[in-house]
Amino acid sequence: MAEPRILPAENAATSGYSVRPWRAVTGALTTTIACSVPVFLVGGLAVQIGDELDFTPAGLGLAVSAYFGASALASVPAGALVERYGATAIARAGVALASATLLTVAVAATSLWTLIAILALGAAGNAMGQLASNTSLSRHVPVRRQGLSFGVKQAAIPVSTLLAGAAVPAVALTVGWRWAFVLAAVGAAGALLLVPSELTAAKRPETGTGERATAALVVIGVGATLAAGSANALGTFLVDSAVARGLAPGTAGLALTLGGAVCVLTRLYGGWQADRFPAHQIAVIAVLLVAGAAGLALMAAPSPVTLVLGVVLGFGLGWAWPGLMNFAVVRLHPQAPAAATSITQTGVYAGGCLGPLGLGTLAATAGYPAMWTAAALAMLCAAAAMVAGSRMLTRHAVTTATA
């Protein structure tokens, strides 16, 4: 099937910017880590934070849901800001807000409700950093390497989870969880130095592409909501679930680290193969989601062996698709990448909001095995929605090429 044609003017080499591709990739990677680490650090240190602030898994789910709900509300406005003011300014604003959020949690989080308020107020930084990074990659990396660049950028999310898991034995169990947030705030602030500066490019001509493809983007966004809700539940509740199963907190944190490491490798490989087979990425996403659903189903079993295998499949594969989704959307909307990906990113954030909230409540009432089973079913439905959205995008690409 015909791929949407990307004009030479959209190539990084002729776009009017002066940022080298490797600088754009480095900046996108560090920006994404800095802007996403607050919520994953809360999940990784859930046991220690919950003991001090006195909240249950449902309370943890509420805190994470508030963060991603606020991110979803900020996504489309953040995309408009990126298109208007450029990726550099908005990326720096997002990193600064994320660093301030981490430091505020360390200093001022004294109850579940103050934690929720701090995370919600700082969530816009996540949306700004993600969409600014998407735009930087689409405009400064050659088209033939964009799949790998998006894979590298999205690998930053499981890196955040990996760091959160490693923080349990390294910091939280030694000097306390608040110091883990202080150290993370300092590291996030350092990412400001790696955001590349860019020249102001000429305004790009408006096209109707984004408007005509909105329905397809919404369907893909629905699939992203279901998939992200399930995958975020794994990142949020894995440690607490493992502890409830009888594992030590340090061992549970290392299991989360394993899942993050596998996910990093899968996202990188996925980006590499996307540059070679660009027409088949939604199908690849569907396969990853089916494998992830199998892993989540294994999490419902009581054995530690099935827990490890479930982490590898559920997190390592079931959470490996966002870079492929962004790659497919940007290829279709090269003239407004932030505006286009803000629609599908809203779905990702909505899943991050609704998943922990609903699944956390289910865990508190029916137990973790029931929660993992429900998450597996949701991820299967996400695979079906991705296939439906892919067909709509293909029809849109053919119509655009014909016109």
- Find out whether 286 and 224 touch, Cβ atoms under 8 Å: no
* pLDDT value at residue 10: 40
Distances in whole angstroms, Cα of residue 200 to Cα of each of 89, 131, 298: 11, 18, 50
> What is the residue extent of each domain of the chain?
17-197+208-402
Give the H/E segment covering residue 328.
Answer: helix 322-332
Just give the CATH number of 17-197+208-402. Answer: 1.20.1250.20
Residue 309: exposed, middle, or buried by beta-carbon count in 10 A (0-12, 13-18, 19+)?
Answer: middle
Q: What is the pTM of this model?
A: 0.80
- Quick one: which of 89, 273, 121 has its CA closest to 199? 89
Give the H/E segment covering residue 270.
Answer: helix 249-274
* pLDDT value at residue 48: 85
pLDDT in tens, the chain (403 residues): 344 443 333 444 344 445 788 888 899 989 988 998 898 888 778 888 888 898 877 788 788 889 999 999 999 999 999 988 989 999 999 999 999 999 999 999 999 999 999 999 999 999 999 999 999 998 888 888 888 899 888 877 767 666 766 776 777 667 778 988 998 899 889 999 999 887 544 344 444 444 457 888 889 999 999 999 998 788 778 877 887 777 777 777 777 778 778 888 899 999 999 898 887 788 889 999 999 999 999 988 877 778 888 888 988 899 889 889 988 888 777 778 888 889 899 999 999 888 878 888 888 889 888 999 999 999 999 999 998 887 887 776 667 667 6
* pLDDT value at residue 241: 82
* pLDDT value at residue 17: 46
